[in-house]
Chain A
């Protein structure tokens, strides 16, 4: 028996707390200032919701509304497509035995994670301009689906790996068709992974700035590119209100994903 607790290192708790303070302080400060009743971002003028009203009804409201609509619809379509594609890929990679080109396919799935984002942005812009696709909604959507695939794949594959093959085997032995055994047996078991993958892809799509900025074309905005455009001229209070709203959405999604995953782990 050791003389002291070998797990304990003095100062490590302080470092962890410092870490959390650095991570959360900027977000909390911006949240607080979004309720500031003052046109200056430096002075505190009391609590109000005026900048939230400004976001929805102010002079910049139409621009932000259009951007939010684009961001949201792109995230929904990209996450849905990427999840479907990744689910099919996970079935092939984990439930079809070994096949020629399996490791190559694995490398391909992970390619969006290996290539630096700015390089993906440049390559996409060059590709779209060469094939003659006008930069806009469609080009953003294609790029988003592509880079969301690995993010959807990882949790789905992790979940599928933990599901015993005997469930499907039993269904097949009882004359269920492939589709029946998938939709009635395997998919419900995979659901926590599929939902996690979907949420991850959704947030990644909503988050993207660099690639979107390259392939969006003139006049087309998503929320991050619209915010970036405003911030270039200085941080205005309405930006802090939008930021706080987006922050809330992100935290809601991550919390959901965390809870679903925890519940999923218990059920296996």
Chain B
């Protein structure tokens, strides 16, 4: 709305005077209770482990050494690369990538379908997609486990219809974890793609159709390159929380399929734990996430420059 007063700058005079008091609570809460703890965690990853959990204040690289290097059972052999924890990371990356692909495969058509509805009914479609996201994540994950467990309703139904004769083993597989992650983060894929498709000018598609391009060629050559920023944003928003997820791998994946989240949690259990190691694994996870975000931000700026 361009009212008569809209050329007044929105009153810097009125709030500028108390800028610091307005921002102090935010600075204090997030600065003291999040930024400072993360820095402290970085310090902890370089300390010496104490046996009852906790740390001794003595500089040590033991945590990172344990993560990357194998020095034999007694620690006296020449170091070789330690695969145990790298494998956990590789598995987590693969699971998160699988979940992202699943979200894209189902999320793109869904986002497209919603964005091409009449403006009046889009809201209700988006609402339907986002409602499950607001249901408690633990409850959603438990519900999924209940549905797909070996003698659960899904197998009952499939056997009842006669599609299968023996129960499918879905629970405690990679597939179950990916399904759980898909279930956890799907709206993060749909919403940015929806926003991109909504801005897309269908005149391009019409021009392509007039030039005898079929639907799928148009989708690949015209639509996908234009809505790509939305797709990339969606993939990042699903991939990152999936990477550090705890509930889906823990409740759906079984002992063999555990991911970074469970590895970290293990380190902080009483008496069995190793705090510096847990802090180091968290640091490595956070570094990975920051790299993904940084690469994406760089790519996005480059696209804008072009």
Q: Which residues of A contact B (CB under 8 A)?
A: 1-4, 6-13, 15-16, 18-20, 22-27, 29-30, 33, 41-42, 84-86, 88-89, 91-92, 94-97, 99, 105, 108-109, 111-112, 114-120, 122-127, 129-130, 142-143, 145-147, 149, 164-166, 168-170, 172, 178, 181, 203, 206-207, 209-210, 213-214, 224, 227-228, 231, 235, 239-240, 243, 246-247, 250-251, 253-254, 258, 262, 268
Q: Are A96 and B16 in contact (CB under 8 A)?
A: yes
Bound together, the chains give a CA A129 to CA B38 distance in angstroms of 14
Q: Are B135 and A108 in contact (CB under 8 A)?
A: no
Q: In whole Å, how far is A180's beta carbon from the nearest beta carbon of chain B?
A: 11
What residues of chain B lie closer than 8 Å to A18, measured between beta carbons?
A: 106
Q: Are A94 and B10 in contact (CB under 8 A)?
A: yes
Contacts known (A88-B25, A91-B15, A114-B293); A214 close to B38, Cβ less than 8 A? no
- Closest residue of chain B to A178 (Cβ to Cβ) is B14
Interchain CB contact (< 8 A) of A89 among B8, B12, B22: B22
Bound together, the chains give a CA A39 to CA B125 distance in angstroms of 38
What residues of chain A lie closer than 8 Å to B33, measured between beta carbons?
A: 124, 127, 142-143, 145-146
Confirm or deny: B99 has a beta carbon within 8 angstroms of a beta carbon on chain A.
no
Interchain CB contact (< 8 A) of A6 among B113, B140, B183, B218: B218
Contacts known (A214-B268, A239-B142, A254-B134); A19 close to B129, Cβ less than 8 A? yes
Q: Are B40 and A29 in contact (CB under 8 A)?
A: no
Contacts known (A122-B268, A178-B14); A92 close to B5, Cβ less than 8 A? no
Can you spell out 26 A-B residue pairs with CB atoms less than 8 angstroms apart? Answer: A1-B206, A6-B202, A6-B218, A12-B109, A15-B113, A18-B106, A19-B129, A23-B183, A26-B140, A27-B135, A85-B29, A92-B23, A99-B16, A108-B27, A116-B240, A116-B241, A118-B246, A119-B282, A122-B278, A129-B54, A178-B18, A210-B246, A231-B142, A247-B135, A258-B127, A262-B123
Bound together, the chains give a CA A130 to CA B33 distance in angstroms of 12
- Closest residue of chain B to A176 (Cβ to Cβ) is B14
- Closest residue of chain B to A168 (Cβ to Cβ) is B11
Q: Which residues of B contact A (CB under 8 A)?
A: 1, 3-6, 8-16, 18-19, 21-23, 25-27, 29-31, 33-38, 40-41, 44, 54, 106-107, 109-110, 112-114, 116, 123, 125, 127-132, 134-140, 142-147, 151-153, 182-183, 186, 202, 205-206, 208-210, 215, 218-219, 240-241, 243-244, 246-247, 251, 260-261, 264-265, 268, 275, 278-279, 282, 285-286, 289, 293
Contacts known (A6-B218, A22-B183); A95 close to B14, Cβ less than 8 A? yes
Bound together, the chains give a CA A91 to CA B209 distance in angstroms of 49
Label chain B's interface by main secondary structure.
Answer: helix
Q: How many A-B residue pairs have CB under 8 A?
A: 291
- Closest residue of chain A to B30 (Cβ to Cβ) is A108
- Closest residue of chain B to A268 (Cβ to Cβ) is B1
- Closest residue of chain A to B260 (Cβ to Cβ) is A118
Q: Are A7 and B202 in contact (CB under 8 A)?
A: yes
Contacts known (A26-B147, A209-B247); A146 close to B30, Cβ less than 8 A? yes
Bound together, the chains give a CA A42 to CA B155 distance in angstroms of 11
Q: Are B26 and A109 in contact (CB under 8 A)?
A: yes
Q: Are B23 and A88 in contact (CB under 8 A)?
A: yes
Q: In whole Å, how far is A199's beta carbon from the nearest beta carbon of chain B?
A: 9
Q: Are B215 and A9 in contact (CB under 8 A)?
A: yes
Bound together, the chains give a CA A206 to CA B289 distance in angstroms of 26
Interchain CB contact (< 8 A) of A16 among B35, B114, B151: B114
Q: In whole Å, how far is A76's beta carbon from the nearest beta carbon of chain B?
A: 17
What residues of chain B lie closer than 8 Å to A250, measured between beta carbons?
A: 134-136
Bound together, the chains give a CA A80 to CA B29 distance in angstroms of 14
Q: In whole Å, how far is B115's beta carbon from the nearest beta carbon of chain A?
A: 9
Bound together, the chains give a CA A26 to CA B241 distance in angstroms of 21
Q: In whole Å, how far is B174's beta carbon from the nearest beta carbon of chain A?
A: 17
Q: Are B202 and A165 in contact (CB under 8 A)?
A: no
Contacts known (A123-B37, A165-B5, A178-B14); A19 close to B282, Cβ less than 8 A? no
Q: Are A203 and B134 in contact (CB under 8 A)?
A: yes
Q: In whole Å, how far is B107's beta carbon from the nearest beta carbon of chain A?
A: 7
Q: Are A123 and B210 in contact (CB under 8 A)?
A: no
Q: Are B140 and A27 in contact (CB under 8 A)?
A: yes
Bound together, the chains give a CA A169 to CA B282 distance in angstroms of 49
Q: Are B35 and A170 in contact (CB under 8 A)?
A: no
